[in-house]
Structure formats: structure tokens, C-alpha cells
Structure 1
């Protein structure tokens, strides 16, 4: 039998009636469910009509499908020694929200996982197995699956040179891409574009990302892919206004020079550094003025070399 933990981490007090014991433990788990925003973000949002239909079904027939709970500790989540028990919701976020709002009971099922990464993998595969996903949601999840698998398998080998490491990572990426393409019946190029799309979506504000996946906010897929390619992982999240500004900057025509200009490798590196720093500029940061000054210095030095 599954060993339950109470919210305090102490073994439950035994009752004579084992059925009452199990029910009491289940009730305590249900009363102490933790929702992690990161994991909730892996669940493609329902359209308004789908959510309302789900709510009507639950009001009429009850919550027939159990919610899935991962019993773990806080230390497993944040990589500390904190042994505070947690009951983390990993499937059924919409059902939980509706039942909580309406004061309705629901069933739960407990699942065992060793790591947070294994939970992520399970949730992505679980969602990809459902048939009600939009093309955008399917693309996002395939790209996310590629990134997770590549990250898990692509840890650096210390005894390899940088060139060998780069070649190894490239080979790993291609193998992962080919395998997922075969799994989902698409081309390897599609998996590559899915990766860029998922990276781009993850660089939008949470609300904008949800609106795009719901179909509530229309942004060209190619534009989101361009955001994924251009911006570093630690860049500030983009609002819709930021995305439109990015689109305007990317679509501005570049003037053709009247004579050929030879650009040195050093200049190319400076250009890449300028693009990286410009993308990471954050007006709300305490170092904003200093970042601007450093960017101006880079621009000045580039101008002098060309």
C-alpha cells in the first residue's frame, strides 16, 4: 500500500477502521495540495468554451477523473535539505480549480517520481498523448520535449576538448531531433522549428504565452521562432508591445553600402555582444544606466573599426 505522509511529515495516527484511516489520509492530502507555477505552465490552457464545457460537466456529473498528485519534499523541488512534505499537483489543474471554486469533492491518485525533471517529462508526454491539442500547443510541447531531453543527455564531458564537445553536442542534438521526428511522424526540420517556437514562447510574459496558446492572441509563428533564436535565455520577458517592437526592428531594411566593406572577426564578435546586451537591457534594473554606458562604448569601438 502507498505510504501516506501527513502535512507535518509525521506518520498518521492509526484507526481501528482501516477504511477510515485511508479516507482520513486522502482527505489530508487533498486539503494540502501544492500547485507549482512551473508545472502548471506545462499544461496547455483550455479555450474559454472548453473550460466552460468542463465546468458544466463537473457540475452535472461530478469530477469523474481523479487528480494526479506527486508526494515529495520541498528539498527535491528546490535542491535543498528541506524535508517538508509536499503534495504537488501534476495533472488536473483545471478540474482542481473548478472543484475548489464550487466546493466539490474530487478523487486523487498518487504517483512516485524521483526528480522534478522526471515529473516534467511525464507531464509533457501525458499532454502530447491527448487529442484536443491545437497545432500551436502540439508544436510547443514537442519543442519542449526536445529541449528537456537534450538538456538531460547533453551534460559536458570533462575530458573532451571544446571542439570535440561542440561536435558531440551537435551529434546528440541531431540524434534527438531525428528520434522525435520519427516518434511524432514529422520531419527533423519540424522538430528544429518546434524547439525555436517553444524557446520563443518561454521568452514571453506568462499571460501573453497563455493567450497565444489559447488562440486568444494571434502572433505569427515565424515571429515567435525569431524571438527564440535572437534573445538569450536570461533576457527580460517580452510583452505584446515588446514583441511588436522586435518585429519592427527585424523587418527594417538595411541600407546597401556603396562599396564593399570588409568586416573583421573581431568586429563580428563585437556586433554579437552588442546584440546580446541590447536584448538584455531592462529599464527596471538598478544597473540600467551602467548597461547603457557599456553599450555605447561597444558601439563607439565598433564604429571606429569599420
Structure 2
């Protein structure tokens, strides 16, 4: 039998566990002292705790309490993570944020297992020992998403977006330890697209992004509003028909008022026209798209009568048509800007 002193806590494993409230932990300790034993075993894999972290810590405090340790037979670290995620997903008191995070974590682990199997297949095929392809990566991921969606009562798209959300949460926690729990318990109020975008932002910018998200929404909005009002320099713009024209350069740059010399204007124009890294903006657009699909899928799944009621459907069609018109407007604007650039070049 394994001894308590031989058990280990893995930070990644324990990060998937829903932490108890003070009252819950106090009640657990009182029950253990009253009964003199654990009612549930501590579950481990290779001496690493999968379930029972809180019981383990209390046992170290009260050595007289009887306990049981149950060992799981799992083939890899990824399988251990999948077991933890599934076990946690069975809890009833999960926030929507934590549930999404766990589904994303499970999907990531299952993909890694499939990828490892694919690498093994590639290796054996080179050796000439295996001629049958078990599954292609893309179709394998598709099947995995379908299975997880069915088991969790979600959709394939939701599972895919959950992984992006999980990556954003982990990137935030890496940038500012403790952020993971603030997001998952709902303390940090942020749209999914904002969380997803963190993982795609440069590492040096992530602490600043997290600090902004930690602010109350009202303060965040005020900060954003004030930043848009600060003086900016625009050299190039487009009129309604897509033709390019130059506009005046602001004389207020970085808080200093002075007349710009001709060399200043040339340098500033060159700087403004330089290609920008829009990875954060693309990530925000992608996040908005994901959130849009997710919200519609969840709404229609919870309220299927929206798709059958004539009045409801009329409203849905209205917004769908408006969306279609907006997309056509963006495409038209894109073509006009390309044509304008060709003419200007």
C-alpha cells in the first residue's frame, strides 16, 4: 500500500481541480475528524494525485485519520489529464467558464494522444512494419470533437472554441499567476474573444492585457474611451468611392505642441504607412466570430422553438440579412481599397 508521504502534487493536474470554498473545506475537515476516516479514497497515478488534493492536505494535518489510496492504470500523462477533466466535468457547481476550460483541456489532451499515435504510425511505416493508416490527423480531430461534444452535450464548434479559450486562460495565468482562477470563478468579467486573444498576443504584452481585464468593466470602458480620444496622427484615409487622399498631419504628437518640419512629416508618414502587425486585431475578429457562432448555437439549442415560430423567425431573418449586407459592404470596401492602392502606386 502506498504511503501518504510518497504522494506528489502536480501543478498542472491540481490546476484543473475546482477549489473548495472556505466553508466547504471547513466542513470536510470536520467530517474527517468526526468519522476518523476518509469516505472517498485519494486517487493517484504513478503516485501523483488525480483527485483528493484537499483530503491529502488535511490528512497531513490530522495523522490519526484512516485513508485509502486508489491507483489508476493510465498509459500517459494526457490520459491522466483527460480523467481529471472528465471527473471535474461531472460536478454540478461548475461555472460556464470553468466548464468550457475543462472541455478545452480535455480536447487538447486527446489531440496530443492522437498525434502521438500518428507519430508512432509514421515511424513504423518508415520501417516497413505497418502499411495501414489508422486515421488522418484532420479526420481524427473531427471525430474527437464530435465524440467530446456528444459526451458533454455541446457542439463540435463549441469544443474547438473551448480549446482556444483554454489556451487564452493559461496564457493569462502564465503572464500573471492567479488569473486562471479569477477567470474561471467569474471574478474577471471578459468576453470569450478577449480571453482567446491573450494567447495570440506577444508575451511581453500579456501582463498589461491581463491587468486591464482585472479592472471593473466600467473602468475598462472609460480607459478605452479616453484612449480613443487621445490625439493621433492620420496621414491616409479613404472617401466613399474608395479614392485615396491625404489629410493634414496633427501638430500634437505625444503631448508636445510644435510645428512639424518637412523632414518630420516625411519620417512620420513613412512610420504610419509601414506595415503593422495586426495579429492582436485578427485574433479579436476571430474571437468575435467564435463568440457569435457559439451564442447562436447555444441559443437555438436551448430554445429550438425560435426556429419554428413565425414572428421569431422573422426577427432572426432580419438580423441575418443585416449581417449579410455588412459582409458584402466589407468585401466591397476591400476591393475599392485594393483598386485605390493600385491607382496610387
The counterpart of 1:258, out of the listed 237, 245, 253, is 237
- Aligned residue in 2 for 1:271: 277
SS of alignment partner, residue 204 of structure 1: helix
The counterpart of 2:113, out of the listed 149, 152, 155, is 152
Matched, 1:58 2:25: no
Kindly provide the CA deviation profile for residues 67-112 of structure 1, in whole angstroms up to 9, marking residues without a partner as x: 1122x3xxxxxxxxxxxxxx22121001111222344522212222
Q: How far off is 1:274 after superposition?
A: 9.9
- Aligned residue in 1 for 2:194: 223
Q: Distance in 2 between matches of 1:183 and 1:121?
A: 13
Maintained 8 Å contact 2:104/2:163: yes
- Aligned residue in 1 for 2:6: 32
- Aligned residue in 2 for 1:243: 210
Q: How far off is 1:196 after superposition?
A: 1.8
Q: How far off is 1:114 after superposition?
A: 2.8
Which of the two has higher C-alpha Rg?
2
* Residues 89 and 189 (structure 1), Cα distance of their counterparts in 2 relative to 1, 3 Å cut: same
Maintained 8 Å contact 2:101/2:163: yes
Maintained 8 Å contact 2:169/2:180: yes
- Aligned residue in 2 for 1:302: none
Matched, 1:43 2:10: no
Matched, 1:133 2:97: no
Kindly provide the CA deviation profile for residues 255-282 of structure 1, in whole angstroms up to 9, marking residues without a partner as x: 7952368xxxxx87x7368999xxxxxx
Looking at secondary structure, tell me which structure has more helix per residue: 2
Count the aligned residue pairs: 218
Equivalent residue runs for 1:75-94 within 5 Å: 87-94=47-54
User: What is the aligned-residue RMSD (CA, Å)?
Assistant: 3.8
Maintained 8 Å contact 1:67/1:92: yes
Matched, 1:209 2:176: no
Q: Distance in 1 between matches of 2:100 and 2:235?
A: 37
Maintained 8 Å contact 2:201/2:280: no
- Aligned residue in 2 for 1:100: 60
Single out whichever of 96-105 and 131-140 deviates more from structure 2. 96-105
TM-score computed with the length of structure 2 as normaliser: 0.52
Q: How far off is 1:144 after superposition?
A: 0.7
Q: How far off is 1:214 after superposition?
A: 3.4
- Aligned residue in 1 for 2:71: 110
* Residues 146 and 32 (structure 1), Cα distance of their counterparts in 2 relative to 1, 3 Å cut: same
Matched, 1:192 2:160: yes
- Aligned residue in 1 for 2:311: none
Maintained 8 Å contact 2:197/2:280: no
Q: Distance in 1 between matches of 2:278 and 2:44?
A: 45
Maintained 8 Å contact 2:165/2:195: yes
Maintained 8 Å contact 1:35/1:89: yes
* Residues 50 and 116 (structure 1), Cα distance of their counterparts in 2 relative to 1, 3 Å cut: same
Structure 1 unaligned segments of length 5 or more: list them: 1-24, 73-86, 160-167, 262-266, 277-305
Maintained 8 Å contact 1:45/1:214: no
Q: Distance in 1 between matches of 2:224 and 2:160?
A: 21
SS of alignment partner, residue 277 of structure 2: helix
Maintained 8 Å contact 1:203/1:236: no
Structure 2 unaligned segments of length 5 or more: list them: 124-135, 214-219, 245-273, 283-344
